[in-house]
Amino acid sequence: MRVGEFSPSALREHLGSGGIGLDFGAARTRICADAPGFDEAFSSVYRGYEASTPLGFFDVTVRLRRARGIRRHFRPQVELVADGQTMFAPFPADTHLPLLEWGMNFLFAQRLGFHLLLHAGVVELDGQAVILPAMPGSGKSTLTAALANRGFRLLSDEFGVVRFADGQLLPLLRPVALKNESIDLIARFAPQAEIGPRFPKTRKGTVAHMAPDAHSIDNRHVPASPALIVFPRYDPRVECAVEPEKRSRAFSRLTVNSFNYEMLGPAAFDAVTRLVASCRVYRLAYRDLDRAISAIRELLAGRD
């Protein structure tokens, strides 16, 4: 049964008791929640996901709950508990979904050490994966969301999960986190995109999440072969400009944009070496999403 098929009361009951299991592809999470308004926000961005019974193995088990203490009487807060331990300082009660998403990002980055984890958006077209590594604020999630709304399969907007055994990219498919101006930009660019509620005044400004499409969800266990690495950078002065990037520089940038490169040592070195050697590598500055997508399609087709 998919999350969107639960009645509001049934969803609230499941989340508030044993929780709901979600399978993101490379990892599974059990989510429990007792936070006012969370179930509605959760359903709006996870409606297409199959909800599994909360039994079995989960990489992460998280519980969102109302924070205790005297503060709750004048400024309600929520806190995130992972496997019995409270993580982070409590958030305002109305920022439950961003707290869940950031908490899961943090936990995946810590726990999925059996894969190389790049800080990157990943999409796929015709079996070819496009990896978009970037620092926060570079327009990575915006471009990833735009590509996902123009025929590319979404694997992740946050994690480039590289399987050591064969270098394949694995989906870790979750809603795309859009921030500030990007929310309206994507809403205008792709009116069909399902964007959940907006959460103003978070630590990163206003945040909203775009639900993955059904095709991406149904194929969350299908890996993709790395073909193209594009380092994106939103630049209001540039409509769209593509330049080749040196592989050695790409190597450095990938390691800087990795969650666990330094922890994994030689295995990570070999994985990044293989990744860089097997991909064509470019820098992309853009302000026009349509032009940027056309440029990526051209690069995938072997035209640069």
Partner 1 sequence: MLDDEAIVFNPFSWETHLLNPAAAIVLESAVSAPCTEAGIRDILVEVLGEQDRPRAAEHARSLLGELIKARLLVEQPLSSDAGG
Euclidean distance between CA atoms 142 and 56, whole angstroms: 35
Measured from the CB atom, the residue of 252 and 294 that comes closer to partner 1 is 252
Euclidean distance between CA atoms 177 and 158, whole angstroms: 9
**CB of 173 vs partner 1, minimal distance in Å:** 30
Chain residues 273-292 in contact with partner 1, contact rule CB under 8 A = 273, 276-277
Strand order in the sheet with 77-82: 20-23, 28-34, 60-66, 77-82, 85-92
**CB of 166 vs partner 1, minimal distance in Å:** 20
Stretch that binds partner 1, among 48-56, 84-92, 101-109, 254-262 (CB under 8 A): 254-262
Is residue 284 within 8 Å of residue 295, measured between CB atoms?
Answer: yes
Chain residues 107-166 in contact with partner 1, contact rule CB under 8 A = none
Tokens of 220: 């969350």
Interface with partner 1: number of residues (CB under 8 A): 15
**CB of 231 vs partner 1, minimal distance in Å:** 15
- Please pick, from the candidates 69, 136, 265, 302, the single residue that binds partner 1 as defined by CB under 8 A: 265
User: 160: closest CA among 120, 219, 216, 213?
Assistant: 120
Alpha helices, DSSP H, located in the chain: 8-16, 38-46, 96-111, 140-148, 181-189, 214-218, 247-256, 261-264, 266-278, 289-300
- CA distances from residue 48 to 23, 122, 174 in whole angstroms, order as listed: 11, 20, 11
Measured from the CB atom, the residue of 166 and 262 that comes closer to partner 1 is 262
The answer to the question of residue 247 lying near partner 1 (CB under 8 A) is yes
**CB of 247 vs partner 1, minimal distance in Å:** 4
- Please pick, from the candidates 57, 191, 262, 303, the single residue that binds partner 1 as defined by CB under 8 A: 262
Residue numbers at the binding site for partner 1 (CB under 8 A)? 246-249, 251-252, 255, 261-262, 265-266, 269, 273, 276-277
